[in-house]
């Protein structure tokens, strides 16, 4: 079964909205294979978002991702990478389809509630970074 790495970001843990997201994940038929709550170190966030190291928002996203606890999950389902990105919606909550997690719970393009791997290769990297 394909695995993807899902994170519930600090904006939603600080608003006590993690349970609603986890319910949506379960209702969509994902198996939550692993789950943990942690606060990312700067080093972990920089490695996790290394693909964006040259982007203007890199320092801000690292700052945001280390600003409070996150919930990290390994989700399993057929085509889980695409399925989880569909359930999250577009990066910018203003452009996310209604009913998606980012449309429902995201605040802005940075504080957009959740993360999802974008490829099998990155899923594997992210899972090993977070779960060892
Ligand atoms: P994620 O990787 O978190 O699942 P994504 O794949 O939809 O999101 P990316 O382009 O990989 O989007 O961006 C990674 C994260 O960096 C975004 O989720 C968001 O938190 C932040 N980000 C992306 N673009 C911007 C931007 N223009 N300004 C501020 N933050 C941004
Ligand atoms: Mg991404």
pLDDT at 99: 97
pLDDT at 100: 98
pLDDT at 101: 98
Q: Residue 85 CA: which ligand is closest?
A: 1
Confidence grade of residue 107 (pLDDT, cut at 50, 70, 90):
very high
**Which residue's CA is the nearest one to ligand 1's atom 4?**
115
Q: How far is the CA of 122 from the centre of ligand 2 (A)?
A: 9
| CA separation for the pair 132, 72 (Å, rounded) | 12
**Which residue's CA is the nearest one to ligand 1's atom 19?**
110
Residue 51 Cα: closest atom of ligand 1:
11
What integer is the mean pLDDT of 1-18?
Answer: 98
Q: What is the separation, in whole angstroms, between the first and last Cα of the chain?
A: 20
**Which residue's CA is the nearest one to ligand 1's atom 30?**
110
Is residue 132 exposed (0-12), middle (13-18) or buried (19+ Cβ within 10 Å)?
Answer: exposed
* Ligand 1 site, residue 109, Cβ cutoff 6 A: yes
* Ligand 1 site, residue 57, Cβ cutoff 6 A: yes
What integer is the mean pLDDT of 43-58?
Answer: 97
What does the pLDDT look like over 61-74, one tens digit per residue? 999 999 999 999 99
* Ligand 1 site, residue 61, Cβ cutoff 6 A: yes
pLDDT at 1: 93
Confidence grade of residue 87 (pLDDT, cut at 50, 70, 90):
very high
DSSP conformation letters of 23-70:
HHHHHTT-EEEEEEEE---HHHHHHHTGGGTTSTTHHHHHHHHTSS-E
């Amino acid at each position: 079964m394909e695995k993807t790495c899902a994170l519930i970001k600090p904006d939603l843990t600080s608003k006590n909205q993690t349970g609603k997201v986890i319910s949506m994940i379960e209702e969509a038929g994902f198996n939550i294979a692993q789950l943990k709550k942690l606060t990312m170190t700067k080093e972990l966030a920089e490695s996790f978002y290394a693909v964006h190291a040259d982007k203007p928002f890199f320092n801000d996203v690292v700052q945001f991702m280390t600003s409070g606890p996150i919930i990290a999950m390994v989700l399993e389902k057929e085509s889980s990478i695409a399925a989880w990105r569909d359930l999250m919606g577009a990066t910018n909550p203003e452009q996310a389809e209604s009913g998606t997690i980012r449309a429902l719970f995201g605040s802005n393009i940075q504080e957009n509630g959740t993360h999802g791997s974008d490829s099998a290769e990155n899923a594997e990297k992210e899972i090993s970074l977070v779960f060892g």
